[in-house]
Amino acid sequence: MTDVTLYHWEPNANSGKPMLALAEKGVAYNSHYLDLLNFDQHDPEYLKINPQGTIPAMTHGNLMLTESTAIMEYVNEAFDGPDLMPSDPQARWRVRWWMKFFDQWFAPSVSMLGWSFFVGPSVRDRDPEELAARIERIPMPERRVAWKKAIYGLFSEEELRVSQERAIIGIKMLEEELTKHKWLATDEYSLADVNGFNLGFALPMSQPEHCNDEKTPHTMEWLRKIYERPATKETWAKGRTELASRVTFLERK
């Protein structure tokens, strides 16, 4: 019986980061699936665990952890298994630089596009009164705003334009970095790769004009190599929706 429980949605973006890190370390955990599109993360039972109502969250014994990147770093340091941070200080800095870049710059733009074109349309046909009630239960004000914009199509043309431009810039930065190392940030597989894959595995589908074998061959090879790792196969097998199944786009022809 493991004393680790991970509360997560699909193996992508934020939820997929600790899922993949745990799998890479070989840590057994209790998988507690929360359906984000059903607002499970705002149910009273889960709010007792994480009052912020965000996913993922992880418990290790009596300790409760939130924030996906911080959970990844905890997993790497708290458990036996392959070290997902390089020993060289400069390489460690590059790993942390890329994780910060993903979390604070690239992810918000890619996420806005995903919420606008996938998350919002996935739930907006439900009963209007039920949706309004669900939104009001969201603990964090900024998350209420994000859900309203997604559900009711309130992202402005300017917001979406800027997000698209930033996504293209991020793709170009990834391609450039991957010409320098075997993996992202270093020649060793690291948390930067775990973080980046969860954000980027769907880029060839969501941004086909900008992320493809012709324009970004190093990025495509990087994504395929991570997809082929046993830990990735194990993690994405936990997916329950079409969102996770998109990873099969990376299978070699």
Q: What angle do CA 25, 26, 31 make, to 5 degrees?
A: 105
Where along the chain do the CATH 1.20.1050.10 domains lie?
A: 89-250
pLDDT for 233 equals: 97
Query: Nearest to residue 168, comparing CAs of 213, 207, 219?
Result: 207
CB 182 within 8 A of CB 60: no
pLDDT for 117 equals: 85
pLDDT for 1 equals: 58
Chain Cα centroid distance, residue 228: 18
6/104 Cα distance (integer angstroms): 23
pLDDT for 29 equals: 97
Positions of E strands within 49-197: 57-60, 63-66
What are the average pLDDT values for consecutive 10-residue runs of the chain, which has 253 residues?
92 96 98 94 95 97 97 98 97 98 94 86 88 92 91 93 96 98 97 96 94 98 98 96 90 90
pLDDT for 124 equals: 87
Structure tokens at 25: 């370390």
**What CATH topology corresponds to 4-78?**
Glutaredoxin (3.40.30)
CATH of 89-250, one of 3.30.505.10, 3.40.1390.10, 1.20.1050.10, 3.60.21.10: 1.20.1050.10
Chain Cα centroid distance, residue 78: 21
Where along the chain do the CATH 3.40.30.10 domains lie?
A: 4-78
